[in-house]
Structures are given as C-alpha cells and as structure tokens.
Amino acid sequence: MSNLHNPASPFVPFSPNPAIQSGVASPTTPLSISQKTPQLGSSNLRYASSRKSIYDRHLNRTQRSELSKASFAFLFGEMIQYAQKQVSGIQDLEKKLNIQGYSIGQRLLELLLHREGRSAKRETRVLGILQFVAQTVYRHLFGKPADGLEKSRDNEDEYMLIDNDPAVNSYISVPREMSQLNCAAFVAGIIEAVLDGSLFPSRVTAHSVPTEQYPMKTVFLIKFDESVLERESVMPNN
Amino acid sequence: MTFYFAIIGTKDNPIYETEFGTSKQGGDGHARFPDEQRPMNQFILHSALDIVEEVQWVQKELYLKTVDRFNNLLVSCFLTAGNIKFLLLHDSKAEDPIRQFFADVHEAYVKTLMNPFYEVDMRITSTVFDSKVRAAAKKYL
C-alpha cells in the first residue's frame, strides 16, 4: 500500500529536534514507524476512537465556537499549579507560563492566516504585526480587541499592549509574597510566538499596572530585537 | 511535466520532500527527472531560498509565484505565516493550478501543526500527509 516509493536520496534532513537529527537514508519513510517495524502500513497509524486522523478534521468548524470561561479557568489553574511544582522562583514560573503560551501562539498564527483564505497577507512592518496582534489575535482569543497599543517614550524598540482586565486573570488572586507575578505571562508567550513566527523576534513580558479604575490592568511589554529595527529603518515608507 | 516539491522550515531545514509527475494529459503521475538532474533539484531549491528572503519583504501575499529559474526549470514559492516555505520545482508556467496545489498543502500543513506532538520545524513523517500532498498533486498538476 505504500505510496512512499521514492528513490533513496542524499537529502539528509536537519532539524533542531534531536529525535530527527539522526539522518536516516530514506527521508520519506516515517521515522517513528520505520523504527518499530520495517513494514509500512496504515495499520501502524494510531487513530482516535472515531477512526479519524487529524487530517480528517475540519479546520474552520470551531472558528466561532466559544469555550466556557469556567472550564478555562479550571484548566489554567491546573496549568499554573503544574508549572509551579517545577520551578523555584517567580521569574522561572513566568518563564514556564510563557513557554506554555508560546506553542499555542505558533499554531494560532498559522491557523488565523489560513482562515483568511486567499486574501491572507503576511505582515512585513512592525506596526502591521502589532495591529494584527492587538486586533486579530486578541479578538480571536478573547472576543475583543486589546484595550491599547502604545509606543514607549524612552526606548525606540519597546511597545506596550494594554489589557485592562485580562480574561486569564479573572479568577486568580496572587498571594502578597508573590506580588511580582502576573499569570498573563501565558498570554505574553502567545504574543511572543506570533511575533517570532512572523520574523519579528522579540521578548514579551506581562506586568501588572493596577489603576483605580482597572485593578487588574496588565501591560504587555514588547521589546523587539535589534535586527527588527534595523530592517524597519531600511524599508521604504508606504 | 515533472515536479519536485519540498517544504523548508524556519531554519532553512528541509522538513518534507517528494517528487511527482503530472496527471493531466494522460500523465501517470510518476516523476521523470533524468538521473543527473535529480541531485541538482535540492541545490536549485536551496539557492532559491535567498531570493525568497528578499521577495518576502516586498510581497505580502502567501503565494509568491515564481521566484527563481534554473535553465528551463522554474521555482514557485508559497510562504506561510510562520515562515515555512513550500517550494515547487516545475518546468511549465501554470500559476493557478500551483496556487491551488499550495492551498491544499497549506491546509494539510496547518492540520499537522495542530497536532500537539508536532512542533514547528520537525520533519513531517505522516503517511497521511504524504497521501494528501499526492492527492493535491494529482488533482491540480
């Protein structure tokens, strides 16, 4: 049944994933399968109980569906607890949350542009990608655009994305001794992945900036890599 | 008409490759590269990456159309949002079928990416993905 009858080629793949790096002579043979049995066959593929693979699922079916906030809060609480068991400090914990969000952001970026269909456009400018995050990404995640987008007055490479009441924090009260912690680091991870994926490498961190009106106000500080500003400065103004 | 198709990751690492022939006009879908040409294909696509890196900041579409040529061979590119490059080496000009082919592959790629066990830049080893690509090639090319 194999439709992978490619002739052996010298195409030795390179990937940062160590599991893949050991170059196997025939690259189109699935590694995981070939290691277990030399035979290829659909029987070796594991299917969900519905007998359908991920390729049979529709990408746009859940486009407008919403998740219950209660179940998200429960899941997110568990994620924080899980992360906290593995770390020793607040910075570590924020980093863990950031990483959890990062893998979501990588997927979200690709999915959102795929859903735009033929009119999809990649963002090539700093302002464009920030708008994309504040509008498209934020709207998809939380059902509303971000509350503000500001450029830092002191630093040329810093931008601030403002959320007056982050949905992820609505059922979280941070203990006094951990007051530095902002669990929206998870969202910061998502934003960072979207920026990185679009070739705007940056560091994104979440900071609590409580005000009278918005006690939960969070600012995502976006610090772009030097290369981004360098590129931006040579791009034509249009 | 013979095609060579490769997907290149964000670190210019190949994550998938295949070759196939046309299924239109009585073609049987088998690739017919001369033996001395086959090893060249990878070099041609690799050298096209430089041009893609220039074009991607000028053109905002995902489908960058034909970016490079080598003798009588053309290289078409489709660049995803996450900077994954789909490169197709082909010998005749046909923009629309290639666009449709890329669109189908893009859908299959996004589905691959939705798998929590798959990470960006990992090689795509799924046989289902492979058959999806072949089906798209058969349908449009």
ipTM of the complex, rounded to two decimals = 0.91
A140 pLDDT more than 70: yes
**Which of A85, A86, A1, A82 lies closest to A41, judged by CA?**
A1
The verdict on residue A220 lying in a domain is: yes
A39 pLDDT more than 50: no
Contact B102, B86 (CB under 8 A): yes
The verdict on residue A70 lying in a domain is: no
Q: What is the pLDDT of residue B22?
A: 86
A155 pLDDT more than 60: yes
Q: Are residues A142 and A39 in the same domain?
A: no
Q: Are residues A36 and A149 in the same domain?
A: no
A80 pLDDT more than 80: yes
Q: What is the pLDDT of residue A238?
A: 56
- Model confidence, pTM: 0.83
Q: Quick: pLDDT tens for B96-114.
A: 999 999 999 999 999 999 9
Percent of chain B past pLDDT 90, that is, above it, reads 76
Q: Are residues A218 and A132 in the same domain?
A: yes
Chain B residues whose CB is inside 8 A of the A7 CB are 38
Q: For A11-31, what is the mean pLDDT?
A: 45
**Which of A206, A216, A212, A162 lies closest to A186, judged by CA?**
A206
Q: For B30-52, what is the mean pLDDT?
A: 90
Chain A residues whose CB is inside 8 A of the B62 CB are 113, 120-122
A27 pLDDT more than 50: no
Percent of chain A past pLDDT 90, that is, above it, reads 60
Q: Are residues A142 and A205 in the same domain?
A: yes
Q: Are residues A25 and A121 in the same domain?
A: no
A38 pLDDT more than 70: no
Q: Are residues A36 and A132 in the same domain?
A: no
What average pLDDT is seen over chain A?
A: 82
Task: Determine how many CB atoms are found less than 10 A away from the CB of residue B129.
Answer: 22
Distance from CA of B58 to the nearest CA of A (A): 8
Q: What is the pLDDT of residue A46?
A: 61
The verdict on residue A146 lying in a domain is: yes
Q: What is the pLDDT of residue A48?
A: 62
Q: Are residues A109 and A226 in the same domain?
A: yes
Mutate to test the interface with B, among A2, A5, A14 (most CBs of B within 10 A): A14
Chain B: residue whose CA lies nearest to A2: B127
The verdict on residue A1 lying in a domain is: no
Domain that holds residue A17: 12-56
Q: For B10-29, what is the mean pLDDT?
A: 87
The verdict on residue A213 lying in a domain is: yes
What is the domain partition of chain B in residue ranges? 2-140
Percent of chain A past pLDDT 70, that is, above it, reads 78
Q: Are residues A38 and A152 in the same domain?
A: no
C-alpha–C-alpha distance, residues B91 and A174, integer Å: 62
Task: Determine how many CB atoms are found less than 10 A away from the CB of residue A12.
Answer: 12
The verdict on residue A151 lying in a domain is: yes
Q: Are residues A114 and A229 in the same domain?
A: yes
B52 pLDDT more than 90: yes
Pairwise CB contact (< 8 Å): B123 & A199:
no
Reported as a pLDDT band with limits 50, 70 and 90, residue A53 is: confident
Q: Are residues A97 and A44 in the same domain?
A: no
**CATH number of the domain to which A190 belongs:** 3.30.1380.20
A177 pLDDT more than 50: yes
Q: Quick: pLDDT tens for A191-227.
A: 999 999 999 999 999 999 999 999 999 999 999 999 9
Contact A11, B14 (CB under 8 A): yes
The verdict on residue A166 lying in a domain is: yes
Q: Are residues A131 and A211 in the same domain?
A: yes
Q: What is the pLDDT of residue A18?
A: 46
Q: What is the pLDDT of residue B106?
A: 95
Q: For B81-86, what is the mean pLDDT?
A: 94
The correct answer on CATH 3.30.450.70 for the domain covering B2-140 is yes
Q: For A90-110, what is the mean pLDDT?
A: 94
Q: Are residues A89 and A192 in the same domain?
A: yes
Q: What is the pLDDT of residue A176?
A: 87
Q: List C-alpha distances in Å: B72 to B3, B5, B42, B90, B137.
A: 13, 17, 16, 9, 21
**Chain pair A-B, CB pairs under 8 angstroms:** 135
Total number of domains constituting chain A:
2
Q: For B60-81, what is the mean pLDDT?
A: 92
The verdict on residue A87 lying in a domain is: yes
Pairwise CB contact (< 8 Å): B127 & A33:
yes
B128 inside 8 A of chain A by CB: yes
C-alpha–C-alpha distance, residues A137 and B81, integer Å: 13
